[in-house]
Amino acid sequence: MNKEYNPFSLEGKTILVTGASSGIGKSIAIECSKMKAKLCVIGRDIVRLNETLSELEGEGHRALQFDINENEKIKSFISELPELNGVVHAAGIIKRLPLKFISKEDFNEILDTNLVSASQVTRELHKQKKLKTGSSIVFISSIASDFASIGNIMYMASKGAVNSFSKGIAFEFAKSNIRSNVIQPGMVVTNLTKVINDKEIEEDIKRYPLGRYGTTQEIAYAAIYLLSDASAWVTGSKIVVDGGITLR
């Protein structure tokens, strides 16, 4: 055997990652580059996005500034992209409000970013035949789809919808041999979790059976599996990566 055994290699694959300017999406891009993928990284903040680009291993990566909620620009944006073997939808936002303070605008903002825009990006990629046969689509959902926490109604609903959406397209795209799966992370400290105060975090960590929060890399490893050919027979599934918190 002259080539090293690695069923999780992403060599020869081009992968698009949204939300790559921060947190989990950033880590996914970096870890995928270490697995030899070529990356197209997307985010709104060009400074942080370029930081991600500079941390990628290997050559031939691209950083593209784009707000996925700019629906009218999605078509032309997607047309600029190369053919892909994988997409990771990691762009996402959170807003914690009790129901009596939730307006339609608040709800739409969360649903647009976490669900509808990801659906439109996927739709355009498919329409423009950017997803090669054998492609893998990964959604970064959350354990919040099934487990309640105070004030988290809009986020929970958006992630539940993402889970169902992924199953829907897994079924619809199966005949094109395109897979779709979901990762449900537990708590990982990123910019997103700044909505939770330090004291709450201190208390919450104690509830984790494995005794700590996760790291962004630990979510990225699940994404690598789902993007690699090791998961060629896995579609419509949900992988929980949560330090055991949902055992409770």
Partner 1 sequence: MEQKFITLFKEAIDSENDQISMDTRFRELDEWDSLAALSIIAMLDEEYDIIIDGNKFQKLETLSEILNYISENK
Token digits for 171?
Answer: 């079924």
- Tell me if residue 213 is catalytic: no
Closest to 179 (Cα-Cα) out of 221, 239, 128, 219: 239
| DSSP conformation class of 7 | T
CA distance 77 to 66: 8
Taking the complex as a whole, the smallest distance from the CB of residue 197 to partner 1 amounts, in Å, to 3
Task: Identify residues 201-230 at the interface with ligand NAP (CB under 6 A).
Answer: none
Q: Which does 238 bind (CB under 5 to 8 A by kind): partner 1, ligand NAP, none?
A: none
Token digits for 27?
Answer: 């880590």
Residue of 10, 14, 16, 22 interacting with ligand NAP (CB under 6 A):
22
User: Which range in 4-12, 38-46, 145-153, 204-212 contacts ligand NAP by CB under 6 A?
Assistant: 38-46
* Catalytic annotation, pick one of 155, 208, 213, 225: 155
Q: Does 151 bind ligand NAP (CB under 6 A)?
A: no
Q: Does 9 bind ligand NAP (CB under 6 A)?
A: no
Residue of 36, 44, 95, 96 interacting with ligand NAP (CB under 6 A):
44
Closest to 44 (Cα-Cα) out of 79, 23, 68: 68
Residue of 10, 14, 25, 225 interacting with ligand NAP (CB under 6 A):
25
Token digits for 190?
Answer: 């990123």
154 and 97 Cβ atoms separated by less than 8 Å: yes
CA distance 123 to 213: 34
Our CB check for partner 1 shows the closer of 108 and 164 to be: 108
Residue of 110, 187, 222, 239 interacting with ligand NAP (CB under 6 A):
187
- HSE toward the beta carbon, residue 143, CA cutoff 13 A: 17
- HSE toward the beta carbon, residue 47, CA cutoff 13 A: 0
**What type of residue is 74?**
I
Q: Which residues are known catalytic residues?
A: 155
Binding residues for ligand NAP (CB under 6 A): 18-19, 21-25, 43-45, 48, 67-69, 90-93, 113, 140, 142, 185, 187-188, 190-193
